[in-house]
Every structure is written in structure tokens, then in C-alpha cells.
A = this chain, B = another copy of it.
Amino acid sequence: MALIVHKYGGTSMGSVERIQNVAKRVAKWMRAGHQVVVVPSAMSGETNRLLGLAKDINPDASPRELDQIASTGEQVSSGLLALALLREGVDAVSYAGWQVTVHTDSSFTKARIKSIDDQKLLADLNAGRAVVVTGFQGVDPNGNITTLGRGGSDTSAVAMAAALKADECLIYTDVDGVYTTDPRVCEDARRLDKITFEEMLEMASLGSKVLQIRSVEFAGKYKVKTRVLSSLTDPLMPLDLEMKSGTLITFEEDSTMEAAVISGIAFARDEAKITVLGVPDRPGIAYQILGPIADANIDVDMIIQNQSNEGVTDFTFTVPRADYQKALDLLKKNVQGHIQAKEITGDAKVSKVSVVGVGMRSHVGVASKMFRTLSEEGINILMISTSEIKISVVIDEKYMELAVRALHKAFELDQK
């Protein structure tokens, strides 16, 4: 008997029939003698419908009230799933975050989980009940409902697994695992049976949208054995097959076999880069440039500052393409004169491609192989950034697919 947390996304909960399928799957696990906690998202479209109503009424909506409103989507889908389980003959009960209790801080619309009480859940599990707990939400120290932000149900599920010391956290989703790269870009992409937590973190942050990045951080921090697998398979498929499907996120580099140097190629298509040319090279200049950008809630990703030359330097960074014009206007209007920069230029049609793998720690030559591969395809590298387990380059958007395919082949990701 194992204690398992299941998480189902909005698509998996998207209709009466799909909710019934989720119930069939959970019932199968229960009948096999396992204890199951299920964390469902709101039915697909519901959170957008609720936030749309709120925006219609008040475009500058209070985050506290948005959370009161948006949190109801998961409460409904949790109640419906409990009803579906009862109909399957499985004793079940649903709880909202505040009933568990899931304690969070007070950062409305993007709260962080602080702790989860396990007494109520364990009592129900030990009484043979399936427990359905709303994802995406909790309650702050003042009794206000909070939500964890988009994709927060992944984080809820992993945090629930950590609090209950669950044997495994199964993230059921509409893809069947984590791939070496996006199969829509590279048809040779291959599903990984395993990926390390650190690689998953880089893949998630680099645009592979399988898991919310905070859930991966949580899994890493609390060593939660997490598996990403498909919710679209036959809910009654044999349990031993289902338990081996998808991609397992592990916490140890596999020592039993020769680890691949690179696990995957991640990419982010919609990037933009901005360069501040001829900036006097003095302390505080980076803050003077990036401070106003951060204040405007624009995410800055890669940052590069060249070696200064005769007391002036160039400063380049990337932002999401959607924020490009806003960032550029901001710098030209409020910053350029102030820091005496010569010129501000940019390019809104760039993409980022990264190779990721814990194997590169012990293998030299990954960078040179990457650069040679791109060079052979005639792709110019605009920016480079590295971490211990990944190398990212910014290139012209039009070469992105070509770069992904060439790197996928060069690092032999199509071969097991």
C-alpha cells in the first residue's frame, strides 16, 4: 500500500465525462489498496470566465477579491470529482484549501504555501476515503483566501505530497511526459523515462510548459518523487503499466548506466533583446538600467555586460517579446538621458535555445559542440549565457527550429 497524490489539470477536468474518467482512474488505484489524495484544477475555461467577469466590473480589481472569486473554480471541480468518486462506489470527500488547512502568505494572486496540516487528510485516508483537495489555493493568517497563480495546482499537488510524505506525486496532464525537445519542432523528439530535478527546473524555466516551475522547486526542496504522465490513456489500463509510464523526476544522477551528457533542448520563441550602447562604466549602472524595468513588472532574463573599453561599455538584456516596446520606451524616456547612454537599440525577433543536462558537469566540450553545430548551420549567436547544467544562446528567431533540430541530432537525443 502506498500513499499517492494525483493531480489533474483543467483539460482533464473539462467535462462531466472527463471528470467521470478521472474518478474511474482514482477508483482503480483505491481498489488496488492505495491511499489517494487528488488535487484537481478548475474545469478548463472556468478561471478565465471568472476573472473576465471581475475585469468587466473593475479593470483595476483588488487582488484579495480576485482570489475570493477565482478560488471557487477549484472548489466546484473538487466537489464534482468527489461526487463522481462516490458514484464509482469509492468513499470520498472534498476540501477547499482553508478546510485542510493549506497555510499561505498574504501575497494575493501569487501566494506561497507555508505549511499544510495533515491531520484531517490522514484521518480520512486511514478511514479508507479518497480525499479531493482544491488545487491553486490556500488561506492566509487572517483567514483570507489566497491563490497561487497560474499553474498553481501543480505546486499544490507537490506540496500536498511533501506534507503527507507521499510515496509519489503523479501529475496527470495532456502530454505523456517530458520530451528531449518539443515534438512539434523536432519530430525525432523522444520521451524521457527519467529526468533529474535540476534538469527539469532548467527545462521548465526555459519554456517547456509541462510543469509550473514553482512545483519543480518544491519537489526539489522536499525530495518529492514526481511523475508526469498522460490523463488521456484508458483510465482502466493496468496499474503496473501506468506506474511506469510518463517521465519520473529523480533526485539522483543515475549511476547504474552511462548518463547522457544532454537531456534535452529547451527553447523560448518569443524573446526580445535590448542593448544600451556607450554607457559610462561606473558602479550602479546596471541597477539604474534594470531598476525601472523591474518596477514596471517586466521580467528580465539574460543579462550581458561587455568588458568596458575606454570607460564606456555596452549592456544587453532580454525581455519577453510582449514587453519589448514598453521596456524600450521606458529606457528612452526615463533612463537614457539620466545615465548618459549613447544609444538604445533592440531586436524584437529573437529566440533562446538551450541545451540542458546534468551530464555536462563531467563532460567537457558541450559548449564547443553546441557552437560548432550552430556555426555549421550558418546560425549567428547573438548572446550566450551559461549555468552549471545548461548553455543558452540567443539567435535570430527565424533559425530557431533549425537550431533545435540540429542540436537534437548533434547530441544524439533521438537515440536512447
Contact = CB atoms under 8 A, between A and B. Distances in A.
A99 B58 contact: no
A65 B94 contact: yes
Contacts of A83: 54, 57-58, 61-62, 65-66
A80 interface: yes
B76 A50 contact: yes
Contacts of A75: 68-69, 71-72
Q: Is the interface of A mostly helix, strand, loop or mixed?
A: helix
A58 B76 contact: no
B69 A80 contact: yes
A79 B50 CA distance: 10
Contacts of A66: 79, 83
Most buried by B among A62, A68, A75, A144: A68
A96 interface: yes
Contacts of A78: 68
Given A54-B79, A56-B16, A76-B53, A68 B84 contact: no
Contacts of A54: 79-80, 83
A143 interface: yes
A143 to B, nearest CB: 5
Contacts of A94: 65, 68
Contacts of A407: none
Contacts of A366: none
A79 B69 contact: yes
Contact of A57 (B62, B69, B87, B93): B87
A78 B68 CA distance: 9
A108 to B, nearest CB: 12
A96 to B, nearest CB: 7
A98 B144 CA distance: 11
A344 interface: no
A157 to B, nearest CB: 19
Nearest to A120: B143
Most buried by B among A50, A56, A65, A69: A65
Contacts of A56: 16
Contacts of A65: 79-80, 82-83, 86, 93-94
A66 B99 CA distance: 16
Contacts of A84: 57-58
10 closest cross-chain pairs (CB), A and B: A72-B72, A69-B79, A58-B83, A68-B79, A58-B87, A65-B79, A16-B56, A65-B82, A57-B83, A57-B84
Interface of A: 16, 19-20, 50, 53-54, 56-58, 60-62, 64-66, 68-69, 71-72, 75-76, 78-80, 82-84, 86-87, 93-94, 96, 98-99, 143-145
Given A58-B84, A68-B78, A68-B79, 9 more contacts: A58-B86, A58-B87, A60-B87, A62-B82, A64-B93, A68-B96, A69-B76, A72-B72, A99-B144
